[in-house]
Structure 1
Amino acid sequence: VRMGDIMALPYQVGAADLITIHQVLHYLSNPQAAIKEAARVLKPNGVLLIADFAQHEFEELREKFGHLRLGFDPQEISDWCKEAGLKVEKIINVKDSENQTSLAVNVFAATINGQA
């Protein structure tokens, strides 16, 4: 496990088998660039996992926690992945079925041009 600047990862092209972006994109002014940078570092057959909030209306998260975005539409992240040369293989929506007012999270599994 390694951590780095998501906009300028300290790795060569094709260095990583797996990259995880967990609850980060909603803090970024340019999340699309972060996905592109992750794709650059993935090996052929590598996997990018993205977990981030589904779209929501919890405006207080901007003030309390510095969120720049109130979640994402799955199509938006899928489009960014495609533009970065990735294919989204699976999207899982995780939510608390007992609490309808809680935040949901979407988990994306993407590969370089669908080669996993």
Structure 2
Amino acid sequence: MVLGFIAISLIVVALANRGAVTLSLLPEALGALVGLNVQMQVPLFVVIFLGVTLGLLIGFVWEWLREMKHRSAARSEHMQVVRLEREVSKLKATSTDTDKDEILALLDEVS
């Protein structure tokens, strides 16, 4: 239902902004100076939707880069937990005699 409302809203905005606008790569004076005066006629809703899409993409990339340090810290913390769990399982595997007292087991290991 929400997606339907968003779709209808976008269609209404597109229909209300069908007028053609001129997009230029450079301002006219600078384009004439450089010799690169690229222009195109597009409907206004295309400019609006491309602007919103570009803004969202820049925001997503910016946030991904900002959160990268947090993800790497969490990854290293996870690896440390896995390493400790392996060490505990190795220690449990080497302890074969569970009926003995801990002190007696240590004395057996030393001798």
Higher helix share: 2
Q: Larger Rg: 1 or 2?
A: 2
TM-score (norm 1): 0.16
TM-score (norm 2): 0.16
